């Protein structure tokens, strides 16, 4: 979809404007609604993506693919049960790279592979730390519920400063090295300022939902549809939803069970993000392989 970034900017400002009219409770409800719809949907077609990736690599049966996927999800759940501190750290690192990869997927010719991975990771971790810094108490409570750790505020601030300096340094290098991505770099720096305003003004869930849905999930769905069909259209989007709905429903049932098992807000938030982490691990691997396969197809075309 052409010019989606313009749509995302307008939608973000609309979300920021809505923030002044919505109570904190309604922000949380609206945020979870967005996450449960587009947010969960964007990871619900992973099995279909794997099947298409394996057409290029090594064909495997649908049952084998589904079994591998379920095993990885269950491994993520068990990690949060046995060693939650390590699992939480892995979740943050994988999510940071996954967010950055989605936003900066077309930089192969600009950076060597190792530097590209670092650049994508730094972008994602800056976004996450911006969110954490403006909602430190809630984030501290969620981390404590998950991992029984109390992370002092200076850790978030120092982490953001270090990641920010490193990211801006790499931006400066890329700006100097490659003229064709200069406008993209300037736009993304503007977007980071926009995220800062949104995270500062909104509740934790509403701010996260605006970023996660508008800037990550919907662009990911568009990229997935293009990978599966060669282009994006409403017809292909409907077909995407028809294929994904059963996996989306299973995820919603799982989240609903978590809610009824524990309705206390901070504990539910902790369990919800643990669940999100468990399905993020395999999804991030799938998307990385999708981008790699797409680049292979483009080189061979």
Q: What is the DSSP string of the chain?
A: -TTHHHHHHHHHHHHHHHHTTS-HHHHHHHHHHHIIIIIHHTTTTHHHHHHHHHHHS----HHHHHHHHHHHHHHHHHHHHH-HHHHHHHHHHHHHHHHHHHHTTT-TTTS-HHHHHHHHHHHHHHHHHHHHHHTHHHHHHHHHHHHS----HHHHHHHHHHHHHHHHHHHHHHHHH-GGGHHHHHHHHHHHHHHHHHHHHS-HHHHHHIIIIIIIIHHHHHHHHHHHHSS--HHHHHHHHHHHHHHHHHHHHHHHHHHHH---HHHHHHHHHHHHHHHHHHHHHHHHHHHHHHHHHHHH-
| Per-residue pLDDT at 123 | 97
The range of the structural domain enclosing residue 288 comes to 4-300
| Per-residue pLDDT at 108 | 66
Which two tokens mark 197?
């305003």
Which two tokens mark 251?
């995820």
| Per-residue pLDDT at 76 | 75
Per-residue pLDDT of the chain (301 residues; tens, 9 = 90+): 567 888 999 999 999 898 888 888 899 889 989 998 999 899 888 878 887 876 545 555 666 766 777 787 778 777 777 888 888 899 899 999 999 999 998 776 667 888 889 999 999 999 999 999 999 999 998 888 888 889 999 999 999 999 999 999 999 988 888 888 888 899 999 999 999 999 999 999 999 999 999 999 999 999 999 999 999 999 999 999 999 988 888 888 877 776 776 666 556 666 676 677 777 888 888 898 888 877 666 555 5
Backbone φ and ψ of 262, nearest 5°: -145, 105
* CA dihedral sign of residues 124, 127, 131, 136: positive
| Per-residue pLDDT at 199 | 96
**Spatial distance between the Cα atoms of 115 and 170, rounded to a whole number of angstroms:** 9
| Per-residue pLDDT at 237 | 96
Global pTM reads: 0.90
User: Number of folded domains in the chain?
Assistant: 1
């Amino acid at each position: 979809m052409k010019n989606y970034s313009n749509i995302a900017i307008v939608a973000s400002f609309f979300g920021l404007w809505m923030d002044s009219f919505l109570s904190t409770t309604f922000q949380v409800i609206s945020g979870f609604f967005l996450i449960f719809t587009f947010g969960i949907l964007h990871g619900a077609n992973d099995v279909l993506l794997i099947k298409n990736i394996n057409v290029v690599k090594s064909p495997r049966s649908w049952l084998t693919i589904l079994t591998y996927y379920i095993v990885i999800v269950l491994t993520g759940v068990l990690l949060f049960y046995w060693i939650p501190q390590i699992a939480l750290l892995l979740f943050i690192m994988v999510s940071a790279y996954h967010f950055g990869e989605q936003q900066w997927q077309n930089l192969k010719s600009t950076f060597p592979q190792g530097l590209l991975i670092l650049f994508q990771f730094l972008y994602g971790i800056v976004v996450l730390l911006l969110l954490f810094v403006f909602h430190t108490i809630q984030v501290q409570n969620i981390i404590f519920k998950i991992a029984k750790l109390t992370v002092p505020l200076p850790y978030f601030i120092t982490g953001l400063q270090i990641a920010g300096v490193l990211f801006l340094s790499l931006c400066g290098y890329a700006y100097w090295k490659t003229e064709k991505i200069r406008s993209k770099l300037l736009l993304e720096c503007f977007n980071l300022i926009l995220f800062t305003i949104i995270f500062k003004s909104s509740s934790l869930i509403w701010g996260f939902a605006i970023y996660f849905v508008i800037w990550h999930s919907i662009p990911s769905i568009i990229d997935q549809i293009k990978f599966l069909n060669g282009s994006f259209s409403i017809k292909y989007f409907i077909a995407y939803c028809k294929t994904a709905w059963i996996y989306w429903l299973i995820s919603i049932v799982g989240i609903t069970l978590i809610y009824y098992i524990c309705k206390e807000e901070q504990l539910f938030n902790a369990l919800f993000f643990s669940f999100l982490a468990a399905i993020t691990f395999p999804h991030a691997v799938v998307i990385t392989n999708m981008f790699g396969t797409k680049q292979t197809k483009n080189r061979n075309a």
